[in-house]
Amino acid sequence: MAEREIFIKDIPLVELYGINDSKMGLIKEHFPNIKIVARGDALRITGDENDLEALERKIYWMMEHFRKYHALNEIDIDRILKSPGHGQQTENGTTDENIIVYGNNGVVVRARTPNQLRMVQSSYKNDLMFAVGPAGTGKTYTAVALAVRAMKNKEVRKIILTRPAVEAGENLGFLPGDLKEKLDPYLQPLYDALFDMLPSDKLQSYLENKIIEVAPLAFMRGRTLNNAFVILDEAQNTTEGQMKMFLTRMGSSAKFIVTGDATQTDLPFKQASGLTQAVKIFGNVPGIDIIHLDVNDVVRHKLVRKILSIYDAETTANASAKVHSK
């Protein structure tokens, strides 16, 4: 057994320990074989030497994260604890490979989970990628960041972001305004991501000059999309015909990313999802990658992960009950 002492510097103790030691509880859960005793600004840790080295490195990453961002919440701590810890680390505890693009006001947009990092790595190798997983896993945000990076690096000439205009379980009725005003509510999540990554004046210029297009899926019909980074979001709401139409828009020097959650389709009853079919039939095609994100990739509020886990358990239980009732 070995022992080390880590001195906490440049961070309020409550930010690292949490209220009633809630954050320290996360650390202890991740390192169950290490005895951790907090005494003021000193952490005394006892255990296997390799484990101690890993924990010490994570604690220093947490302190660096706070110095840079002036915040350290439980999601940040959980992500740092689960990071692989290999390669050259940056000040915030991630590797250079994690960084996708630098956004507004010095914000670093980076892959924050292993499967988001897989999306980054896949974008180098494949011209078509499907990123499939539940809400909150950063599918769309990561895809938009990859598109912005490609445009900044002059790998493509334009970005096209599209979604099927399908109501999410609600009848919205007649929407006032011109065509753009009617469709913008469906496309708002894509605008939100862009506003994080590009200055507003530059983004406005790109939109006005069609360097960045945000449009409903129906507007893709008949086009050939060359030298473009194209993202189809909410793809679970495409029909099989619409998915085929979209994928065949791919022109020369184009990259396509398709994102969606197959469990949250808003298509009419018994209408098959184009995303489900595409994931099934393109699984072994060279140049096409399919990445499945899961509850461990959730980057929203910590309760979202718990909510998804409960829904998954309920779905499994209902499916099992149906089998036994037959």
Question: Residue 289 in contact with residue 130, Cβ under 8 Å?
Answer: yes
Is position 72 within any domain?
yes
How far, in Å, are 56, 125, 204, 238, 291 from residue 129 at the CA level? 37, 10, 28, 16, 7
Indicate the number of domains in the chain.
Answer: 2
Is position 91 within any domain?
no
Give pLDDT, residue 91.
Answer: 41
Q: 140 and 47: one domain?
A: no
Where do we find the tokens 């006005």? 208
Where a domain ends, among 24, 50, 85? Answer: 85
Please state, in angstroms and rounded to a whole number, the distance separating the CA atoms of residues 58 and 283: 37
Question: Residue 163 in contact with residue 184, Cβ under 8 Å?
Answer: no
Q: 64 and 130: one domain?
A: no
Q: What are phi and psi of 134, to 5 degrees?
A: -75, 170
Res. 86: pLDDT tops 60: no
Give pLDDT, residue 92.
Answer: 42
Is position 324 within any domain?
no
Question: Residue 298 in contact with residue 134, Cβ under 8 Å?
Answer: yes
Give pLDDT, residue 325.
Answer: 64
Is position 326 within any domain?
no
What is the tens place of the pLDDT at every residue in 225-279?
A: 999 999 999 999 999 999 999 999 999 999 999 999 988 888 887 789 999 999 9
Is position 307 within any domain?
yes
CATH of the domain at 72: 3.30.1370.10
Give pLDDT, residue 170.
Answer: 41
Q: 74 and 110: one domain?
A: no
Range of the domain at 35: 2-85
SS3 content of the chain, % helix, strand, coil (to 5): 50, 20, 35
Where a domain ends, among 56, 85, 114? Answer: 85
- Range with lowest mean pLDDT among 13-27, 137-151, 181-195: 181-195
Where do we find the tokens 């999410």? 168
Structure tokens at 183: 């469709």
DSSP state of 236: G
Side chain identity at 232, as an amino acid letter?
L
Side chain identity at 94, as an amino acid letter?
T
Give pLDDT, residue 79.
Answer: 79
Give pLDDT, residue 119.
Answer: 94
Model pTM score: 0.66
Is position 93 within any domain?
no
pLDDT band at 181 (very low <50, low <70, confident <90, very high): low
Where a domain ends, among 85, 117, 151? Answer: 85
Res. 172: pLDDT tops 60: no
Q: Average pLDDT of 92-116?
A: 73
% of the chain with per-residue pLDDT over 90? 41
Q: 153 and 186: one domain?
A: yes
Is position 94 within any domain?
no
Res. 90: pLDDT tops 50: no
Could you tell me which residues are beta bridge partners of residue 161?
214, 231
What is the tens place of the pLDDT at every residue in 32-85?
A: 999 999 988 899 999 988 888 889 888 988 888 787 767 788 888 887 887 765
Give pLDDT, residue 321.
Answer: 67
218: nearest Cα among 200, 238, 198: 238
Is position 50 within any domain?
yes
Cα torsion through 290, 113, 157, 125, rounded to 10: -50
Please state, in angstroms and rounded to a whole number, the distance separating the CA atoms of residues 265 and 234: 9
Please state, in angstroms and rounded to a whole number, the distance separating the CA atoms of residues 86 and 262: 33
Give pLDDT, residue 319.
Answer: 67
Q: 275 and 133: one domain?
A: yes
CATH of the domain at 138: 3.40.50.300
What is the tens place of the pLDDT at every residue in 286-306?
A: 999 999 999 888 877 778 778
% of the chain with per-residue pLDDT over 70? 86
Give pLDDT, residue 94.
Answer: 45
Give pLDDT, residue 304.
Answer: 78
DSSP assignments along 203-222, one per residue: HHHHHHTTSEEEEEGGGGTT
Q: 149 and 232: one domain?
A: yes
